[in-house]
Amino acid sequence: MSVMTITQIASTVSSILVGFIFAYLYWRLVKLQRYTIDEQREQRISGGRPQIIVEADYRRLPEIDLVVRNVGGGPAKNIGFDFSANIKSSTGFVLTDLFYLRDGMDFLAPGGEIRCLWDDMHSLEETLKEEGLQHGIRVRTFYEGMNGDDYDESYGINPLLYQGIRNATRRDMDDLVEVLEERLPGGTGDQSPDSAEEFEQQRDEGEHSDQEDQEGQEGQDGQEQQPDGEQRPQGRKEGHDGSSTYGSWAARTTPDWASSDAASEPTNNQ
């Protein structure tokens, strides 16, 4: 076999091999892109990847809460927990014996949480030290996404890292509600009437009393005497039924000559 023939055969084989290599790489690229597209579609349908965490919440210091949260963008299902040691309070209450921590949870929506009071910070420090948990408690969470993917994560919880922390007092909506309850009628912190009805009744009685005093003052002003001995008319007064009355002042102020003329008029006609 000549050298020319061997060269041609080698060139043909190398071309075929290069073609196979490019075809394989192209197939892998297409498969990877298709997998990425399918994963994005599943995440869009399910809302995203879930992420379940168990943490100690220090927002209400000196009280500490144990919170299970889904901080991911999608819901989680078939949630389970595993703790390196029992989580319990200074009173002996074991939080890890709660049903949702012991037997797991079926579902937790994104942004959802389950909160349980753990203990007071000072009391919890002593309890953890007595139990030999200076380095905290290891927590393992395992769950599934709506697309069927499995997740398994592990981390630690150690409230002793924050021992000696100074608590900053902050006022929230509960404080505002408490102040309003003290100031509103029927509140716990004032001596106002026990109900809104009693408050309205007392206000109406006060207005009625003021109206009677004003009418009595007007009556005294109407009794002032004229220079000729006649009483000054009080003017029109409104009755309780809405009618207008002038009282008896017209009869009292009729002159004597008018009375005598009225009496003598029938005699003249005769």
The domain limits of the chain are 52-162, 171-207
Work out the average pLDDT over 125-129: 91
CATH of 52-162, one of 1.20.1300, 3.20.20, 1.10.357, 2.60.40: 2.60.40
Q: How high is the pLDDT of residue 191?
A: 47
Q: How confident is the model at residue 37 (pLDDT cuts 50, 70, 90)?
A: confident
What's the one-letter identity of residue 49? R
Residue 145 has pLDDT above 80, yes or no: yes
Q: How confident is the model at residue 17 (pLDDT cuts 50, 70, 90)?
A: confident
Residue 133 has pLDDT above 70, yes or no: yes
Asked if 187 and 181 touch (Cβ cutoff 8 Å), the reply is yes
Burial string for 67-103 (b: 16+ CB within 10 Å, else e) reads bbbbebebbbeebbbebeeebbbbeeeebbeeeebee
Percent of the chain with pLDDT over 90: 33
Q: What is the mean pLDDT of the chain?
A: 76
Q: pTM for the full model? A: 0.51
Sequential DSSP letters for 222-258:
HTPBPTTSPBPP---EE-TTS-EE-TTHHHHT--HHH
**Which DSSP helix (H) or strand (E) runs through 137?**
strand 137-145
Q: How high is the pLDDT of residue 168?
A: 62
pLDDT in tens, 64-117: 999 999 998 889 999 999 999 999 999 999 999 999 999 999 999 999 999 999
User: Of the given ranges (43-52, 142-151, 172-181, 194-203), which has the lowest mean pLDDT?
Assistant: 194-203
Q: How high is the pLDDT of residue 163?
A: 80
Structure tokens at 59: 């927002």
Q: How high is the pLDDT of residue 211?
A: 67
